[in-house]
A = this chain, B = another copy of it.
Amino acid sequence: MTKKIYTAGLIIIGDEILSGRTHDKNIAQVASWLQVQGIRLDEVRVVADVEERIVEAVNALRARNDYLFTTGGIGPTHDDITVDAIAAALGVGVIIHPEARAILERYYSDKGGLNEGRLRMARVPEGAELIPNRKSGAPGIKIGNLFLMAGVPHITAGMLDALTGTLEGGEPLLSETIGCWVAESEVAELLREAEQGHENCQIGSYPFFRGGKVGANFVIRSTHADDLQSCADTLCDGLSVAGYDFTPGGI
């Protein structure tokens, strides 16, 4: 029986990533979080703070995925245009969310109160719900299968934490890693054969150089535990026969 595979897209919104000024940390943390939810990250796009570019990416990725996440552009300043872009992509208006406004009023009550910039963070596409933000005032935004999160990584992490367990996912993708002090080019044929012999498995080969030595981790991925084990056994047998030591769990 074929199981449904749940997928997600991710859009990183921000000139600061494209300029190289800020090193993105959200791709890795969203990807790892999705794995645990049984959802596969299908594609990531990094786009500038330009409405038409955000709209294009949103429409492309939401059409082909069960879920779509964005990070960045939901703050108080003029370059924070994610809410407007998402509303435009969905063809809905932008409203002040009363609960978000109340949250911000409380949060800023001892910090000078609400002003025009801060009130921007209560704006949501019409029909949206809020994603709790336990780290700072402004909440994230959920509308349909879209999740709009902050760009600052530790705030993003808090929003992901609030969403944990709330999304329908499929079978988690299982993996086994086998590390080997070998140039991957010496065992390319072995890897190809092991993968071809197990149609539910994919093998990735990730080479590295450490302490002047060449090695690689071979990562086998499958939603089927039995096939995964069989593929790992085949690969380990092949490495043994070829005379290589290997390290289950990876190096």
Contact = CB atoms under 8 A, between A and B. Distances in A.
Interface of A: 12, 14-25, 27-35, 40-49, 53, 75-79, 108, 111-112, 115-118, 120-121, 152, 154, 173, 175, 183-189, 191-192, 195, 202-209, 219, 221
A20 B41 contact: yes
Contacts of A219: 16, 19, 21
Contacts of A48: 42-43
Nearest to A30: B20
B19 A35 contact: yes
A188 B77 contact: yes
A117 B108 CA distance: 61
A44 B177 CA distance: 28
* 8 smallest beta-carbon distances between A and B, as pairs: A117-B188, A20-B31, A20-B32, A76-B185, A44-B46, A78-B192, A77-B205, A118-B185
A43 B13 CA distance: 10
Nearest to A187: B117
27 contacts: A15-B204, A18-B44, A19-B221, A20-B27, A20-B29, A20-B30, A23-B28, A24-B28, A27-B46, A43-B46, A43-B47, A44-B46, A76-B184, A76-B185, A76-B188, A77-B184, A77-B188, A77-B191, A78-B188, A78-B195, A79-B204, A111-B183, A115-B185, A116-B189, A117-B185, A152-B209, A154-B209
A221 B22 CA distance: 15
Nearest to A40: B18
A248 B32 CA distance: 37
A29 B17 CA distance: 11
A186 B14 CA distance: 21
Q: Which of A29, A117, A191 has the most CB of B within 10 A?
A: A117
Given A20-B33, A44-B46, A117-B189, 14 more contacts: A14-B204, A16-B206, A18-B40, A19-B173, A19-B221, A22-B206, A42-B48, A49-B204, A75-B185, A75-B207, A76-B188, A77-B184, A78-B203, A79-B205
